[in-house]
Amino acid sequence: MDQEDPSDRPLTRIQARNRQTILEAALEVFSQYGYRGATLDQIAEVAGLSKPNLLYYFPSKEAIHIALLSGQMDTWLDPLRALDPGGDPVTEIMGYVHRKLDLSRDYPRESRLFANEILQGAPRMMEALQGDLKSLVDEKAAVLARWAAEGRIANLPPHHLIFSIWALTQHYADFDVQVRAVLGPGHDPYAEADRFLDTLFRKLLIP
């Protein structure tokens, strides 16, 4: 008779809470020190747990990092998934722009974590980038290409349109310190960016 694998059992409420505490602590440590500079001891200290207790939930620093990135990938893809092929093209694209900017505002540490992974050559995320991410981008790029062929938006390279949305929205999370230093006090970077990007992309999309 096969024995039940303990890892297949659902987490108790305390276990789920501890796991989330570890992930939150790891996000803070990775955001501050990067993957290479972060240590399990630092993560355990921020989480308020012993290192052996931490290792009960995650066998390594890499396992924690992968768990964070995997969860973030789902969050990052949701705004693009929401782009409706049956909707009004400009409304759908602008909705995507605003949702991506909202993610940068609400999840700046997660954005920087992902950016650092990409800058290192995506050693822990390449499979996801070439799999789920590519499939979704290709699917939505085909929608953008169809809208352009129908004359409903400007004839723009669809993949590069998506790349430009990523670049112009995620910049505000990944370079937050620089943005705020240049703008100076009294500015709301995200409110100003929201208005600017709305004007920029609406003009860009005119056929």
Q: How many domains does the chain have?
A: 2
Indicate if 115 and 200 belong to the same structural domain: yes
- Round to whole Å and give the CA distance between 53 and 14: 13
Q: What are phi and psi of 116, to 5 degrees?
A: -65, -40
Indicate if 140 and 55 belong to the same structural domain: no
Indicate if 88 and 188 belong to the same structural domain: yes
Indicate if 31 and 126 belong to the same structural domain: no
- Round to whole Å and give the CA distance between 138 and 165: 15
pLDDT digits (tens, 9 = 90+) for 19-72: 999 999 999 999 888 888 999 999 999 999 999 999 999 999 999 998 998 888
Indicate if 30 and 103 belong to the same structural domain: no
181: domain CATH number is 1.10.357.10
Give residue 23's domain range: 1-59
Around Cβ 116, how many Cβ atoms within 10 Å? Answer: 15
Indicate if 53 and 73 belong to the same structural domain: no
pLDDT digits (tens, 9 = 90+) for 162-171: 999 999 999 9
53: domain CATH number is 1.10.10.60
Q: Taking the model in full, what pTM does it have? A: 0.84
